[in-house]
Amino acid sequence: MTVNGMLSNGIGAPLRAATIALALFALAGCETEAERKAPPVSAEKPIEVLEIEAVHQVAFAAGTNAIGPEESARLDDFLARMRVRFGDRVDVEAPPAGAPADLAHQRFAALMAALEDRGARPVARRTVQQSAAGLRLFYSRHVATTIDCPGWSGDSETNFKNQITPRVGCTTAANLAAMVDDPRDLVQGRPGNATEAERLARAVRIYRAGGSNHRVVSSGSSSGSGGSSDSGSSSGGSSSSSSSE
């Protein structure tokens, strides 16, 4: 029996249904077990903020509290590499509590003064073990990194669930981590400043009042036949000034 004959005898509808079912079954086999059980991919990629501590040791000349030119250059290089800004805290290894005022205290005071001259904010730190070669500096900083950013291996695979690719959102998170001035702000905000609020409120008041409150002064002159002592003119002319808000 030909295909046309089968269709005319009423077999066509079941045959088409069987063909469609077979095609759907074949398509379902294209998705792996891992893909069926995989959780949805989130476009929000978290930013991980890590705190690291850098240590730098400052050596002194034997028997003195002087910081030589070479050590001074090393100190400047350390502060520059760590990007220590004005007012940043730098911990300085302090002499043991109750120790007599000896050379260790003099070196501690000299190093504190050197850091203050460079704009840092030195703070004493008591350590368990003192370094015999000199005093140590401790500077803590925060570093922002992005996590959960896989490669592009899954982009060419068939995705029947129409899910987003695993890397969606990684660029946004990486740019934010790179652009933020202080990564610490991502985990702990800074306290408010009343002075900044007053400045912003003043700008709003000026804007609502219709603009600037500065006085604009314009001057003009007119000729006359006689002068007066108030105008201060000796040639017979007079001048007047007007002001507008």
Would you state the pLDDT for residue 172?
86
Q: What is the DSSP letter of 186?
A: G
* pLDDT for 231: 42
Of 42, 51, 64, 59, give the one whose Cα is nearest residue 173.
Answer: 42
> Please, is 74 exposed, middle or buried when counting C-beta atoms within 10 Å of its C-beta (0-12, 13-18, 19+)?
middle
**Does residue 238 sit within a domain?**
no
Residue pair 94/124 in contact (Cβ under 8 Å)? The answer is yes
Domain membership of residue 32 (yes or no) is no
Residue 143 is part of which domain span? 42-150+158-212
Give the CATH number for residue 73: 3.30.1330
Give me the torsion for CA of 9, 13, 16, 18, rounded to 10°: -100
Beta-sheet pairing, 47-59 with 216-222: unpaired
Structural domain includes residue 53: yes
219 domain residue, yes or no = no
Q: Mean pLDDT of residues grouped by 10 in the chain (245 residues)?
A: 53 70 63 56 79 91 88 94 89 76 85 93 84 84 80 62 74 87 81 68 84 47 43 43 41
Residue 198 inside a domain? The answer is: yes
pLDDT of residue 150: 67
The answer to whether 166 and 41 have CB atoms below 8 angstroms apart is yes
- As beta bridge partners, residue 244 has 216
Number of domains in the chain: 1
Contact 72, 114 (CB under 8 A): yes
Does a structural domain hold residue 48? yes
Rounded CA-CA distance 32/41 in Å is 17
In a domain, 59, yes or no: yes
- Coil, strand or helix at 132: coil
Q: Across the strands, what pairs with 216?
A: 244
Tell me how far apart the terminal alpha carbons of the chain are, to the nearest angstrom. 103
Residue 84 within any structural domain of the chain:
yes
